[in-house]
């Protein structure tokens, strides 16, 4: 029985079309960009990483709801701002800055 089950599942996987896999939407990209921007601001302000989830997101959501409506405020719910996520975003930003610095140093050495 398990052998038949695996054979059946294998044939199902082969029939799946890869182009039907979900793609990243415009809102997801904007959500990621917003998450990176907020993480950067949190780091620059030298605040704890959990401030995004505990203060920034609720305040931004409430202000948006009051000024623009519930539909617009709901979009802010998609911005990941947990302490763990902010930490990961800062790691990505730090790595990017490091790479830019290395490229800049290599270019300056070539000019000498």
Q: What is the pLDDT of residues 2-49, one digit of tens each?
A: 566 556 666 665 555 554 545 667 688 899 999 999 999 999 999 999
| Residue extents of the structural domains in the chain | 47-112
Q: What is the average pLDDT value for the chain, to the nearest integer?
A: 85
Convert the chain into a string of H (helix), E (strand) and C (coil).
CHHHHHHHHHHHHHHCCHHHCCCCCHHHHHHHHHHHHHHHHHHHCCCCCCHHHHHHHHHHHHHHHHHHCHHHHHHHCCCCCCHHHHHHHHHHHHHHHHHHHHHHHHHHHHHC
Q: In the chain, what percentage of residues exceed pLDDT 70?
A: 78
Higher pLDDT pick, 89 / 109:
89
């Amino acid at each position: 029985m398990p052998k038949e089950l695996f054979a059946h599942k294998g044939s199902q996987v082969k029939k799946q079309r890869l182009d039907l896999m979900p793609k990243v939407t415009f809102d997801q990209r904007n959500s990621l960009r917003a998450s990176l921007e907020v993480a950067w601001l949190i780091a620059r302000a030298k605040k704890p990483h959990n401030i995004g989830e505990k203060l920034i997101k609720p305040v931004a959501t409430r202000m948006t709801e009051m000024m623009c409506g519930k539909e617009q405020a709901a979009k802010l719910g998609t911005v990941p701002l947990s302490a763990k996520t902010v930490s990961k975003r800062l790691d990505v930003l730090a790595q990017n800055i490091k790479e830019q610095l290395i490229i800049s140093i290599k270019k300056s050495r070539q000019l000498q």
